[in-house]
Amino acid sequence: MEENKDNNKVEIYSQRVRAGKRTYFFDVKATRSNDYYLTITESKRRYKDDGYYYEKHKIFLYKEDFNKFIEALNGTIEHVKTELLPDVDFTQFDKEQEINDTSEDSSLDSNLKWD
């Protein structure tokens, strides 16, 4: 969880998506007046001289923007899949994730990764 920066915010729901070197967190939170919003956090583990740290980037998405955000995200992904990378089998990335989820060795590397 966060470091009490949002101590007046209540977390309602959370989902984590591991994606290679990154982890995405989708958290639904509520204000004291029960107004709901979504935070999307990208977390990357980085190495520094004295050890590891996590670099985080966060987006706050409010309920009035949910539909516009979903529409733009879906449209953008569809454009990449059909116009820019029509020959890519995107199901291969799902298969890679299944392999990584069942493997205890998280150091598996694959040429399917984007970065």
Sign of the Cα torsion 1, 25, 14, 73 reads: positive
**Looking at residue 111, what is its pLDDT?**
42
Residue 115 lies in a domain: no
Q: Which amino acid does the sequence have at 36?
A: Y
Indicate the number of domains in the chain.
1
**Looking at residue 8, what is its pLDDT?**
54
Q: Are strands 51-62 and 36-48 parallel, antiparallel or unpaired?
A: antiparallel
**Looking at residue 79, what is its pLDDT?**
98
Identify the CATH number of the domain in which residue 41 sits.
3.10.450.700
Answer whether 36's CB lies under 8 Å from 30's CB: yes
Query: In degrees to the nearest 10, what's the CA dihedral of 14, 55, 4, 40?
Result: -30
**Looking at residue 49, what is its pLDDT?**
85
Domain that includes residue 41, residue range: 10-102
Residue 95 lies in a domain: yes
Q: What is the 3-state secondary structure (H, E, C) of the chain?
A: CCCCCCCCCEEEEEEEEEECCEEEEEEEEECCCCCEEEEEEEEEEEEECCEEEEEEEEEEEEHHHHHHHHHHHHHHHHHHHHHHCCCCCCHHHHHHHHHHHHCCCCCCCCCCCCC
Mean pLDDT by 10 residues, the chain (115 residues): 52 92 94 91 91 93 96 97 95 73 48 40
Residue 97 lies in a domain: yes
Query: pTM value?
Result: 0.69
